[in-house]
């Protein structure tokens, strides 16, 4: 059975003066990813596909280097477009993110609509899976669009209750055949003993 995994980048270096897509991993995020790169559950991975945002690329590159794979960057796998507001302080960001998930057909403060972001991330994932290459697939991306993809695969309505735990560096998995969810969000450190 081929397994498809969606991994969110872990902690980033927050800099209000730098556009969010250009943020890189923090030392904590980098250390978590380097530890993950040794994980046995990645051994059958033959494709690593990531968004074009720096933090996703850095996460994917660390894992790919350990596995001896090239990464494929798909620009349209980016996080939901939040450029209308730019950087928001954490409390304000969480409030707007709540609205983003609660009203998927509305643009909250100029953000990309959740419904549109979901169509985009599902289209990108399905384009990769349509190649039907052997081995497991690892997508490396972001929390909001990852949650939207999870909702689609699992057959859930868009809702923040399905969002990843705080901190990033979480993964869900599904079977390529039949798109059956194997497990919901788990911290990457908790996957080694979970066979998935």
* 11-33 residue pLDDT tens: 999 998 898 889 999 999 999 99
SS3 state at 3? strand
Q: Are the C-beta atoms of 58 and 27 separated by less than 8 Å?
A: no
Locate the DSSP E strands across 9-101. Answer: 45-50, 71-73
Strand 45-50 with 71-73, pairing? parallel
SS3 state at 73? strand
- What's the residue count for the chain? 196
Determine the pLDDT at residue 38. 84
pLDDT tier for residue 42 given thresholds of 50, 70 and 90: very high
Locate the DSSP E strands across 130-179. Answer: 136-141, 170-175
**CA atoms of 146 and 78, how far apart (whole Å):** 10
Note every long-range contact of 188-196, with CB atoms under 8 Å and residues 24 or more positions apart, other chains counting. Answer: 188/7, 188/10, 188/32, 188/36, 188/39, 189/32, 189/35, 189/36, 191/39, 191/41, 192/39, 192/40, 192/41, 194/41, 195/41, 196/3, 196/41
pLDDT tier for residue 39 given thresholds of 50, 70 and 90: confident
Determine the pLDDT at residue 121. 98
pLDDT at 126 over 80: yes
**CA atoms of 47 and 109, how far apart (whole Å):** 36
The torsion region of residue 110 among left (phi > 0), alpha (psi -120 to 50) and beta comes to left
Determine the pLDDT at residue 75. 97
């Amino acid at each position: 059975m081929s397994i498809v995994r969606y991994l969110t980048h872990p902690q980033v270096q927050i800099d209000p003066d730098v556009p969010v897509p250009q943020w890189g991993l923090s030392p904590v995020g980098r250390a978590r990813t380097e530890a993950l790169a040794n994980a046995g559950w990645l051994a059958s991975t033959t494709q690593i596909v990531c968004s074009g945002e720096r933090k996703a690329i850095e996460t994917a590159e660390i894992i790919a280097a350990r596995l001896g794979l090239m990464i494929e960057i798909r620009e349209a796998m980016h996080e939901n477009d939040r450029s209308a507001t730019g950087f928001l302080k954490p409390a304000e960001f969480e409030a707007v993110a709540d609205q983003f998930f609660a009203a998927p057909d509305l643009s909250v403060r100029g953000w990309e609509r959740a419904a549109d972001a979901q169509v985009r991330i599902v289209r990108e994932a399905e384009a990769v899976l349509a190649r039907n290459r052997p081995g497991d697939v690892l997508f490396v991306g972001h929390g909001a669009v990852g949650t939207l993809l999870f909702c689609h695969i699992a057959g859930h309505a868009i809702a923040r209750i399905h969002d990843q735990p705080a901190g990033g560096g979480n993964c869900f998995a599904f079977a390529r055949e039949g798109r059956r969810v194997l497990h919901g969000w788990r911290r990457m450190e908790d996957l080694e003993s979970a066979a998935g």
